[in-house]
Amino acid sequence: MDGVTPGITKPKRLTDLAVRNLRTGPKRQEISDGKNGLFVVLHPGGRKSFAVRYRFNGRSRKLTLDRGITLAAARKAAADAIHAVEQGRDPGVAKRQSKQAQRIAAANTFRVVAEQYLEREAKKKEGERLRSLEWRRALLERLVYPTLGDQPISAIKRKAIIELLDAIEDGKLANARGPIKGGATMAHSTLAIVRKIMRWYAVRDEDYVVPIVPGMARIKPDERARSRILNDHELRRIWRTAEERSDPFAAMIRFMLLTACRRSEAAALTWDEIVEDGIGPCWLLPAKRNKVKVDLIRPLSAAAQAILDAQAQIGDCAYVFTYGRRPLAAFSQCKDEFDEASGVTGWTLHDLRRTARTLMSRTGVISEHAEQCLGHLLSGVRKTYNRDDFKLQKKAAFEALAMQIVGIVNPPQDNVRKLRG
């Protein structure tokens, strides 16, 4: 194995200085190190590299070592290669397999897998815009990609994920614009998205094991659930402030209270979703814009219809609540300004939906009808056999809700005077 072959100089032990002083010629040359089949290869262009010659299954083979390694590293690699041959393994095959694994890993970075996941999620909706798609991608680009994006997904360990979540929770991440706002809720949302992506990839690669385990969540389930509703005093101040303001955001707040709808549903409300359905004006919320994925009918109370009638239609703009030609957005900024005007803080727009549902119960609306007003579907055997659309019941419930709100906003005055005996 260490003998002299035609075209190769007599074996001798090389030194770092000797390797540096070797001069290339017009033809390719191989200079033996004298042990373990190691050679310095001199290329006509001036490049130098290391290679190992060995015999496996009776055939002569050559293993080219990585570029740029030192003589000491080359000798170790040659010794490892000869040891593999003695153990019955072909080091050349092992290297090719390693290179292939590296190429696969490079093609399956977390960023690549995440984008494939988002693309598949969008396709599942048959071309419809996934409501949270852009939000997920923005979160990944802001918080996850800078740290884990270029790493092969199979190389990401639990420790790396925990360190990322810690940095998000503690607000220690930053970008070119400055520090990134973090917190436990943001860390929890990040974990949820990363978990979905990794589980999606695990379905497609039988060798992949998701490194996320129970106990990594940053918020307990009972801490995530909100139970906040507006009390009568808060409702009165919010409603009156909304009446005094003429902006679309204030109108949308009152509309949300009267219809018990979600923020996204109200913000993207279009004029063509308001239809006449035999019992008066109704809001036909298409399946693509709600969670239950069926068309929902919400009969509009007279108070809700009055709010719509007061909104200006801007040219051919399709949206009801808008500052221009797009759906209402910038909710945080709008709500901060509204909170300052009303003096009521610590509530969210979704709390309006919860408040409306609670007021329905206060007015005596039965639970089944109130849930229908919220857009919740029947379950179990009732879903199979009860095919009623509850339009009349929902109309009565929304009118009762409007009357309840009016009673809270304008409570009766005590103008009765007691007479002396």
- Quote the mean pLDDT of the chain: 85
Cα-based distances in Å from 284 to 281, 300, 303: 10, 10, 17
- State pLDDT tens for residues 329-340: 888 889 999 999
Q: Which two tokens stand for residue 106?
A: 């490079």
CB atoms within 10 A of CB 100: 10
Per-residue pLDDT, averaged over 66-74, amounts to: 87
If you count them, how many residues does the chain have? 421
- The per-residue pLDDT for 128 is 44
In the structure, what pLDDT confidence band is assigned to residue 68 with cuts at 50, 70 and 90? confident
Q: Which of 125-139, 203-217, 223-237, 264-278 bottoms out in mean pLDDT, i.e. has the lowest?
A: 125-139
Q: What CATH class does 232-409 carry?
A: mainly alpha
End-to-end CA distance of the chain: 128
Q: Which residue has the tokens 């909304």?
A: 242
In the structure, what pLDDT confidence band is assigned to residue 2 with cuts at 50, 70 and 90? very low
- The per-residue pLDDT for 259 is 96
Contact criterion met (CB below 8 Å) for 347 and 230: yes
Residue 13 has pLDDT above 80, yes or no: no
More confident residue, 106 or 398: 398
Residue 104 has pLDDT above 70, yes or no: no
Burial class (CB within 10 angstroms; exposed 0-12, middle 13-18, buried 19+) of 346: exposed
- State pLDDT tens for residues 356-397: 999 999 999 999 999 999 988 876 656 555 556 789 999 999
Q: Which of 16-30, 240-254, 262-276 bottoms out in mean pLDDT, i.e. has the lowest?
A: 16-30
HEC letters along 28-96: CEEEECCCCCEEEEECCCCCEEEEEEEEECCEEEEEECCCCCCHHHHHHHHHHHHHHHHCCCCHHHHHH
How much of the chain exceeds pLDDT 90, in percent? 48
Q: Which residue has the tokens 């900024």?
A: 333
User: What backbone phi and psi angles, to 5 degrees, belong to 199?
Assistant: -70, -35
- Point out which residues pair with 276 in neighbouring strands: 281
Q: Is the pTM of this model over 0.75?
A: no
**Measured distance CA(79)–CA(85) in Å, rounded:** 10
**CATH hierarchy code of domain 16-104:** 3.30.160.390
CB atoms within 10 A of CB 258: 24
Q: Where are the domains of the chain?
A: 16-104, 110-224, 232-409
Rg for the chain, CA atoms, rounded: 35
- The per-residue pLDDT for 1 is 44
- The per-residue pLDDT for 184 is 87
In the structure, what pLDDT confidence band is assigned to residue 224 with cuts at 50, 70 and 90? low
Per-residue pLDDT, averaged over 134-163, amounts to: 91
In the structure, what pLDDT confidence band is assigned to residue 421 with cuts at 50, 70 and 90? very low
Contact criterion met (CB below 8 Å) for 118 and 136: yes
Fold exhibited by the domain 110-224: DNA polymerase; domain 1 (1.10.150)
